Amino acid sequence: MNNVSKVLRKTICIALAAVTLGGFAAAVPAVFDNGITAQAASVLNYQGYQYQVVDDEYAVITSYTGKEADVVVPESIHGFKIIGIGTGAFSGNELIKKVTLPEGIVSIEASTFNKCLNLEEVVIPGTVESIGYKAFYDCPSLRTLVLPENLKSIGISAFEYCMALEEITIPYGVYEIPWQTFKDCTALKTVKFAENTEEVDVIEIENFGTIGYQAFAGCVSLEEFVFPDWVKSVGDSAFKGCTSLKKAEFNEFLETIGISVFYNCPSLLQVTVPESVTKIGKYAFAYTYNSAVHKLIPHPDFVITGRSDSAAQTYAQKNGLKFVADDPLENTSEIVDDYLTVGKAVTINGSAKGGSGEYTYSYYFKRAKNDTWKILGGQENTTATSVRFKPTEETIYDVRVIVTDSEGNKDEACFTIAPLTNIIANTSTVSSNKINLGGTVTINGSIEASITHPSSTQYPTETYTYYFKRADNTAWKVIGQEDTTDMTARFRPTAKGKYDVKVVAKYAGLSDEKTFVVTVK
């Protein structure tokens, strides 16, 4: 805003304050921070206009008693520039049908055109930045109104009961539709929100606002409402009784939907609620009053679409409504075998969630140094949910799984594997190779392994099986139990002679064994 506009806004404030005190307020000077001095003056008359001179330079219209149906407010009177229209200046005037306001007006104050029953059109200049409380309240004939691009705020009940108004465009820069702004505008069929003409990457957080309590309640002709990006919350009963409303399209920034927002909107049978919404009030969707049973009842055919585990799903479940998940397609494929070695096949499981309908899978692999993808499993777009892949050399491989849903949406998952030729080495030991009869041999199981893990986040469990037999006998006997995680076993021979002791170690699907000879004296 330029300096001249700032001066006008500050000047009009003191003038309108004087008007509110009865039109003949005492002349009390005020000095603003920009140095301007405003002085309220006596009420003067000019061709049906009553006005006050402010600061010996400006004038404020306080009322109009003329007889014209088509009123053109002058830009100045006796050399004084008109900078404002006082509270209730045209209130209750049943003669006027059209009013044209002059350039330079910064605001339309509270109740300015309140109950102008025959007012059909108001021409608002581009300089107006605010429209006050009940400024056009109960103007049932008003059907033509263009809000200026510079408008920044609209007051409570500003257009309530404007029952002939059919269309309105809210300028970009208005970030709140307050209480009952358009309540009972019964002919209002179209509400548009102007888009920003300047390129921006994101909406600044301070620009988020609300659609207030009963803001559009009773707009029985409204058929569609698309929420602009700045709406972060919708107040209680905001669209209550919009009986023709068939479509409500929310933005991706919306967080709160209040109580009874769409109560008694019988034509609205489906909504898609964005994931950003974290709170939905009681009776927000689907409910109407059933006079036969004297209670609120949800519509049996109402459908809520949204993300799984969201506020939308919770509301649907609590109110017995049909819920349709619209989760995005997500590829959840995985490699089953965590540790890889050359010559050992790994299992690739294709899986997905979200999206639409049945899934098909395409599996590929390539050496990382090679740009050519090769098909795994023999064909693309297969319904097979598992394939096997056997690395043939010690190098890095890329594996890719592309999942496609019935609507052609795709998502891919990529894995990198680096199989090694190294295998595990059994490094188990025994406490002694020679013992006396009645003594005990302690067997310590251990391994050394050099195995590649695709994600390096999980490690397999090593297991051991301990055996013994007499050297002249071919039948091995288990010490304890097989495939135990115990890393120690004890062996106590019952006769003299030589015994063979064996440890079989397993790790990551590989195994290695080690044998010892124990002599008993």
Q: Where are the domains of the chain?
A: 1-165, 221-327, 330-417, 425-520
Tell me the CATH class for 330-417.
mainly beta
**Same topology for domains 330-417 and 425-520, yes or no?**
yes
At residue 357 the predicted structure's pLDDT band, cuts being 50, 70 and 90, is: confident
**Predicted local confidence at residue 162, as pLDDT:** 98
Does residue 247 carry a pLDDT above 90?
yes
Q: What is the enclosing helix (H) or strand (E) of 3?
A: helix 3-20
**Predicted local confidence at residue 199, as pLDDT:** 55
**Predicted local confidence at residue 207, as pLDDT:** 59
Query: Could you tell me what percent of the chain has a pLDDT over 70?
Result: 86
Q: What is the CATH number of domain 1-165?
A: 3.80.10.10
Does residue 29 carry a pLDDT above 60?
no
Residue range 52-101, pLDDT digits in tens? 998 889 999 999 999 999 999 999 999 999 988 999 999 999 999 999 99
Pairing type for strands 43-46 and 49-54 reads antiparallel
DSSP for 44-69?
A: EEETTEEEEEETTTEEEEEEE----S
- Read off the pLDDT of each residue in 309-330 and give the average, rounded to a whole number: 95
Q: Is 115 left (phi over 0), alpha (psi -120 to 50) or beta?
A: left
Long-range contacts (CB closer than 8 Å, 24 or more residues apart) made by 326-329? 326/272, 327/353, 327/354, 327/355, 328/354, 328/355, 328/409, 329/353, 329/354, 329/355, 329/356, 329/403, 329/405, 329/409, 329/410, 329/411
> Could you tell me where the beta strands, DSSP code E, fall in 276-422?
279-280, 287-290, 295-298, 303-306, 322-325, 330-331, 334-335, 346-349, 352-353, 360-367, 374-376, 386-389, 397-404, 410-417
Residue range 184-226, pLDDT digits in tens? 999 999 999 998 766 555 445 455 899 999 999 999 999 999 9
Does residue 413 carry a pLDDT above 90?
yes
- Read off the pLDDT of each residue in 302-327 and give the average, rounded to a whole number: 96
Mean pLDDT score of the chain? 87
For the record, the structure tokens of 10 come out as 């500050």
**Predicted local confidence at residue 453, as pLDDT:** 52
pTM of the model: 0.70
Superfamily of domain 425-520: Immunoglobulins (2.60.40.10)
